[in-house]
């Protein structure tokens, strides 16, 4: 455990913003009655990391976040913040702050009052509150809405206010519970960039909950993929995408061609089921030559899907296997595609591009 | 049946317009439509409600012949002057005001924690049980409840018997028991709007407040209370105005010296109708003042 020079958690709201902390979960379980939401979870988040917890709804990711924040008790296990056991600490005694899914702004307070709330309950001097609220609103470029009420703001603005309200307390860890879930796609992408910038500026640990795999891949330093209360895989975006360790991870992140174990053994000599990404599969004529490092199947194109930057071909073999191949539309825009529905084709991929998914 | 035979013809498009003179006339005249809609409620409101109140107000200025005790139409402010000049009337007004305020405060003090528990902590089953328990008293008659309180606190009642075992006395009839009885009567009118308002507060506001460093009490003071204000005002209008108008509680569980405005109105209603009428303006005045005060505090502005 690292030696720390921190005083009691509740008395450090004025710690400089460069101070950050790691989070560690040791054997954490959470039961709601008979339902097990989280099972025996071990997880380590490094200080300063942008860490995403990705999974479908009901996979336990939000419960884990709420346990780190202190809104839920753990059934068993330990939660450590910066090496200190906070398992039994109340939310107001933890140096973490939360950005809630639907922002949770206080409807009866102005934007400035909302942002000031945390400082006010800590009895911070008035002049300091005014100054810091000003800075905070500046940071999210919303100084002009200080006197408005939350319902007068757009979704994106409310989102930024929720962020400002949490960051003004200079937490060591910021928890974000699907903060972009309620925004439309364009705004969401813009906010992703903004979030990343803010995280770099303040330099603290972000623990980010999302069910959107693209968002997780775009933002994170590392991703934990949740399924049914367990973590299936933890790794960098590249690791979890390119080398999924389980069939669930392979299918939850992007599109994946899952080839069952017996077929994979026959085709590629693999030791179990394999997963191949559509963009790793190329199509060729049935008599095309291929290298020794490649594997292929022959089938019929049963569907083509134009998605703008790429076209997807769904190839079905005689024995019922379906392979999705993606081809970038990097040829001339009006070029007709070389493959059509009903064509007999060979779908080819490099064996090393297939991940073994036991 | 002929329906089988006529069914196919019915589905054919009908070229002949239906003849519906009333509907057609109403369709062409929106004002007539509005009039038809409002005819009954307006008759009720103006014809009975406002008309009777106006009569009451007019009666308050009439005279009573001192010899024959007959009411004579006329105009005098004596009836109102009496409200201020008779010390018994002044103290009764103030006592009634105090009782009504106490009932309102007591109801709110019970309703807020109960509402928080029901809305945010209780299981759905428990919540349903409590909701029934709160509304149950409304099913029983008003007199039944007053009699129930009377039996509980009477000389040979429960509290005196129990306190008697250890040589003491239970609380006798008096103003505190009147306040308790009226709270018992009007509590549902406070509890329901407060519970509903607390239910509407998103749970994550409680989480957010704790997350930002506020402890339970601070959250109640800075988040829950401001969001409850409209419900508290709505509930208090009921508890306050219903208490101001009551006199049976004072009569049956009040003991001596607990007369309320209603008691005086009731005793004058035959002897001196103009004084009764003048006195019944007092609770109305209290309620109007109460509403103006709540408006002035600005409690409703941000809602």
- pLDDT at position B173, please? 81
Question: Which residue does chain B place closest to A169, by CA atoms?
Answer: B212
Residue with the larger pLDDT of the pair A268 and A10: A268
What is the SS3 assignment for B268?
helix
Task: Please state, for a pLDDT cut of 70, what percent of chain A lies above it.
Answer: 93
CB count in 10 Å sphere of residue A13 = 17
Contacts of A114 (CB under 8 A, 6+ apart): A105, A106, A150, A161, A165
- pLDDT at position B298, please? 61
What is the SS3 assignment for A80?
strand
Q: Can you list the domains of chain A with their CATH numbers?
A: 9-247 (3.40.50.300), 255-356 (2.40.50.100)
**CB contacts, 8 Å: A161 with chain B:** none
Contacts of B257 (CB under 8 A, 6+ apart): B174
pLDDT tens by residue, chain B, 303 residues: 444 444 445 555 556 777 788 888 778 888 888 888 888 888 888 888 888 888 888 888 888 877 777 888 888 888 888 888 888 889 999 999 999 999 999 999 999 999 989 988 889 999 999 999 888 878 888 888 888 888 888 877 777 777 777 776 667 788 888 999 999 999 999 999 999 999 999 988 999 999 999 888 899 899 999 999 889 998 998 999 999 989 888 888 888 888 898 888 888 888 888 888 999 889 989 999 988 888 877 655 544
Which stretch of A147-156, A346-355, B69-78, B93-102 has the lowest confidence by average pLDDT?
B69-78
Min Cα–Cα distance to chain A from B300, Å = 10
Residue with the larger pLDDT of the pair A149 and B159: A149
Find which of B201, B212, B228 to mutate to test the A interface (most A CBs within 10 Å of its CB): B212
Would you kindly state where each structural domain of chain B is located, as residue ranges?
81-296
DSSP for A120-158 reads HHTT--HHHHHHHHHHHHHHTT-GGGTTS-GGGS-HHHH
**Rg (Cα) of chain B, in Å, rounded?**
27
* Per-residue pLDDT tens over the stretch A305-319: 988 888 999 999 988
B220: exposed, middle or buried (C-beta count within 10 Å: 0-12, 13-18, 19+)?
middle
The C-alpha angle A115, A119, A123, rounded to 5 degrees, equals 145
What is the SS3 assignment for B266?
helix
- pLDDT at position B5, please? 45
- pLDDT at position A333, please? 66
For residue A228, is it left (φ>0), alpha (ψ between -120 and 50) or beta? Answer: left
For residue A82, is it left (φ>0), alpha (ψ between -120 and 50) or beta? Answer: left
pLDDT band (50, 70, 90) for residue A12: very low
Longest CA span, chain B? 93
Task: Let me know: does A28 contact A37? Beta carbons within 8 Å.
Answer: no
The answer to whether B222 contacts chain A (CB < 8 Å) is: yes
Question: What one-character DSSP code corresponds to residue B226?
Answer: H
> How far is the C-alpha of A300 from the C-alpha of A315, rounded, in Å?
5
- pLDDT at position B196, please? 92
Closest to A344 in 3D by CA, of A308, A300, A304, A311? A300
The answer to whether A10 contacts B207, with C-beta atoms less than 8 Å apart, is no
Average pLDDT over residues A205-231: 93
Question: Which residue does chain A place closest to B223, by CA atoms?
Answer: A106
Helices (DSSP H) in B51-174: which residue ranges?
51-59, 78-85, 87-116, 124-139, 142-153, 158-165
Task: Please state, for a pLDDT cut of 90, what percent of chain A lies above it.
Answer: 58
The answer to whether B204 contacts A100, with C-beta atoms less than 8 Å apart, is yes
Mean pLDDT of chain A: 88
> How far is the C-alpha of B37 from the C-alpha of B48, rounded, in Å?
18
Residue A15 has pLDDT above 80, yes or no: no
Strand duo A294-306 + A76-81: pairing:
unpaired
The answer to whether A13 contacts chain B (CB < 8 Å) is: yes
**CB contacts, 8 Å: B215 with chain A:** 90, 92
- pLDDT at position A224, please? 95
Residue A17 has pLDDT above 70, yes or no: no
Fold annotation for B81-296: MetI-like fold (1.10.3720)
* Per-residue pLDDT tens over the stretch A54-113: 999 889 999 999 999 999 999 999 999 988 899 999 888 898 999 998 899 999 999 999
- pLDDT at position A5, please? 41
Min Cα–Cα distance to chain B from A304, Å = 45
Helices (DSSP H) in chain A: which residue ranges?
61-69, 111-121, 126-139, 155-167, 185-202, 213-219, 237-242, 247-252, 261-268
Question: What one-character DSSP code corresponds to residue A91?
Answer: G
- pLDDT at position A133, please? 95
- pLDDT at position B11, please? 53
The answer to whether B213 contacts chain A (CB < 8 Å) is: yes
Three-state helix/strand/coil letters over B157-195 = CHHHHHHHHCCCCCCCCCHHHHHHHHHHHHHHHHHHHHH
Find which of B198, B202, B211, B220 to mutate to test the A interface (most A CBs within 10 Å of its CB): B211
The answer to whether A104 contacts B222, with C-beta atoms less than 8 Å apart, is no
3-state helix, strand, coil in chain B (%, to 5): 75, 0, 25
- pLDDT at position B299, please? 58
CB pairs under 8 A between A and B: 66
Q: Which of B209, B211, B223 is the closest to A69 by Cβ?
A: B211
Closest to A166 in 3D by CA, of A131, A140, A196? A140
CB count in 10 Å sphere of residue A151 = 8
What is the SS3 assignment for A252?
helix
Cα–Cα distance list, A130 to A142, A161, B221 (Å)? 15, 16, 22
């Amino acid at each position: 455990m690292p030696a720390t020079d921190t005083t009691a958690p509740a008395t450090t709201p004025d710690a400089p913003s460069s101070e950050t902390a790691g989070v560690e979960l040791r054997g954490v379980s959470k039961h709601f009655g008979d339902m097990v939401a989280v099972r025996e979870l071990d997880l380590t988040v490094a200080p300063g990391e942008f860490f995403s917890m990705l999974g479908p709804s009901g996979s336990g990711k939000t419960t884990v976040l709420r346990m780190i924040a202190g809104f839920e008790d753990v059934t068993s296990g330990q939660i450590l913040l910066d090496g200190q056991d906070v398992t039994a600490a109340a939310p107001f005694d933890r140096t973490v702050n939360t950005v809630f899914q639907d922002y949770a702004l206080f409807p009866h307070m102005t934007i400035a009052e909302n942002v000031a709330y945390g400082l006010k309950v800590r009895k911070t001097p008035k002049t300091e509150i005014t100054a810091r609220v000003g800075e905070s609103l500046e940071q999210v470029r919303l100084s002009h809405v200080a006197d408005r009420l939350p319902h007068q703001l757009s979704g994106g603005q409310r989102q930024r206010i929720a962020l400002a309200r949490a960051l003004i307390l200079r937490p060591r860890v910021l928890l974000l519970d699907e903060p972009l879930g309620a925004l439309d796609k364009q705004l969401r992408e813009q906010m992703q960039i903004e979030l990343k910038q803010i995280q770099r500026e303040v330099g603290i640990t972000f623990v980010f909950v999302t069910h959107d795999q693209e968002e997780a891949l775009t933002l994170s330093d590392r991703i934990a993929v949740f399924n049914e209360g367990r973590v299936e895989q933890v790794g960098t975006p590249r690791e979890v995408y390119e080398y999924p360790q389980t069939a669930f991870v392979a299918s939850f992140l992007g599109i994946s061609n899952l080839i069952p174990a017996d077929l994979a053994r026959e085709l590629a000599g693999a030791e179990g089921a394999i997963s191949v990404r559509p963009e790793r599969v190329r199509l060729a004529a049935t008599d095309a030559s291929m290298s020794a490092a490649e594997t292929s199947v022959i089938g019929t194109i049963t569907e083509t899907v134009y998605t703008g930057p790429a076209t997807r071909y769904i190839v079905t073999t005689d024995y019922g296997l379906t392979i999705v191949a993606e081809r970038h539309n990097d040829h001339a825009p009006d070029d007709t595609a070389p493959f059509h529905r009903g064509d007999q084709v060979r779908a080819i991929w490099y064996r090393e591009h297939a991940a073994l998914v036991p | 049946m002929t329906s089988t035979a006529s069914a196919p013809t019915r589905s054919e498009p009908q070229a002949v317009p239906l003849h519906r003179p009333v509907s057609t006339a109403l369709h062409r005249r929106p004002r007539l439509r509005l009039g038809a809609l409002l005819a009954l409620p307006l008759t009720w409101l103006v014809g009975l409600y406002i008309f009777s109140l106006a009569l009451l107000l007019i009666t308050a200025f009439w005279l009573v012949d001192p010899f024959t005790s007959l009411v004579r139409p006329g105009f005098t402010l004596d009836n109102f002057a009496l409200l201020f000049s008779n010390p018994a009337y002044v103290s009764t007004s103030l006592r009634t005001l105090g009782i009504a305020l106490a009932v309102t405060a007591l109801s709110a003090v019970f309703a807020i924690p109960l509402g928080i528990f029901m809305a945010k902590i209780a299981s759905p089953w428990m919540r349903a049980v409590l909701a029934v328990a709160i509304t149950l008293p409304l099913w029983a008659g008003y007199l039944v409840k007053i009699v129930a309180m009377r039996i509980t606190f009477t000389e040979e009642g429960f509290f005196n018997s129990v306190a008697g075992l250890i040589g003491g006395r239970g609380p006798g009839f008096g103003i505190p028991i009147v306040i308790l009885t009226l709270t018992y009567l009007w509590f549902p009118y406070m509890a329901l709007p407060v519970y509903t308002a607390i239910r509407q507060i998103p749970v994550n506001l409680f989480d957010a407040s704790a997350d930002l460093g506020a402890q339970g009490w601070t959250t109640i003071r800075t988040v829950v209370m401001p969001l409850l204000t409209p419900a508290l005002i709505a509930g208090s209008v009921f508890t306050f105005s219903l208490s101001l108008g009551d006199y049976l509680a004072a009569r049956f569980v009040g003991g001596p010296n607990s007369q309320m405005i209603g008691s005086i109105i009731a005793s004058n209603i035959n002897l001196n109708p103009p004084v009764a009428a003048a006195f019944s303006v007092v609770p109305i005045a209290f309620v109007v003042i109460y509403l103006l005060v709540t408006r002035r505090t600005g409690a409703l502005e941000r809602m």
